[in-house]
């Protein structure tokens, strides 16, 4: 089972991913947790380049760098984990590229789609949780979070950009309603977690029956 979490920074992805990981582990399931970009040496190196504020990166270079990091991750980590029967929880995946580089940066969506299918090698999550909060709420949460610190290059993009990203997420969720579950991210952590495990249980039940 391959599950991804999507949403703008500060929406609560990592919080919910950790809660879901603990839920799976308490049931004795093997879980592989991945953050994007990252999880391989190459992908972590590319992550540093992408998030660094030292240099500017054109939207197309950004698209290709995220995609290079992703394809290394797919081949080296996700495919082997799927083969071993592990549950994979991914903190961002290909929908981030559609939302951020496509809708956010304004790159041609057909071109983004083509690059995405090369990068993923056709490996897609069966279930994607889009945790939806507005930019203002996400910003407020990040100000109070411990690991906060200075905003990275992506986080500096500003309100207009994140509004387009959110609209993008809403659009792609509607295009693939079987895979996407849109979560109202304004509620408390426990209520969101409850909805997430209900959906996961429903899917597990459907798969095994």
Ligand X SMILES: Nc1ncnc2c1ncn2[C@@H]1O[C@H](COP(=O)(O)OP(=O)(O)O)[C@@H](O)[C@H]1O
Binding footprint of Mg ion on the chain (CB under 5 A)? 14
CA-angle at 69, arms to 64 and 72, nearest 5°: 120
Strand ordering across the sheet containing 31-35: 31-35, 87-91, 2-6, 127-132, 180-184
Q: Is 10 in the site for ligand X (CB under 6 A)?
A: yes
Give the nearer residue to Mg ion in terms of CB position, either 14 or 29. 14
Paired tokens of 46: 């590319």
Nearest to 123 by CA among 52, 75, 59, 53: 75
Report how many residues bind ligand X under the rule CB under 6 A.
Answer: 15
Closest approach, Cβ 141 to ligand X, in A, equals: 3
User: Between residues 96 and 98, which has the closer beta carbon with respect to Mg ion?
Assistant: 96
Closer CB to Mg ion, 88 or 115, in the complex: 88
Tell me the chain's radius of gyration from C-alpha atoms. 16
Beta-carbon contacts of residue 167 (< 8 Å; ≥ 6 apart): 103
Residue 140 contacts ligand X per CB under 6 A: no
Per-position x/- string for 178-207, each x denoting binding to ligand X as judged by CB under 6 A, each - no binding: ----------xx--x---------------
Least distance (Å) from Mg ion to the CB of residue 91?
A: 6
């Amino acid at each position: 089972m391959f599950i991804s979490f999507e949403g703008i920074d500060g929406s609560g992805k990592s919080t919910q991913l950790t809660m879901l990981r603990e839920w799976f582990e308490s049931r004795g399931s093997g879980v592989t947790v991945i953050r994007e970009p990252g999880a391989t040496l190459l992908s972590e190196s590319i992550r540093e380049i992408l998030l660094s504020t030292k240099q500017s990166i054109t939207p197309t270079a950004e698209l290709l760098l995220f995609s290079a990091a992703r394809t290394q991750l797919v081949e080296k980590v996700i495919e082997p984990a799927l083969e071993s029967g592990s549950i994979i929880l991914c903190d961002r995946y290909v929908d981030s590229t559609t939302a951020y580089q496509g809708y956010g940066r304004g790159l041609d969506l057909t071109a983004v789609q083509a690059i995405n299918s090369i990068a993923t090698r056709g490996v897609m999550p069966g279930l994607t949780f889009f945790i939806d909060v507005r930019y203002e709420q996400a910003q407020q949460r990040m100000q109070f979070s411990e690991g906060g610190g200075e905003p990275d290059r992506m986080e500096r993009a500003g309100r207009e950009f994140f509004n387009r990203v959110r609209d993008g997420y809403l659009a792609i969720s509607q295009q693939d309603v079987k895979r996407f579950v849109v979560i109202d991210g304004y509620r408390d952590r426990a209520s969101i977690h409850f909805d997430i495990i209900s959906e996961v249980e429903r899917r597990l039940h459907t798969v095994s029956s």
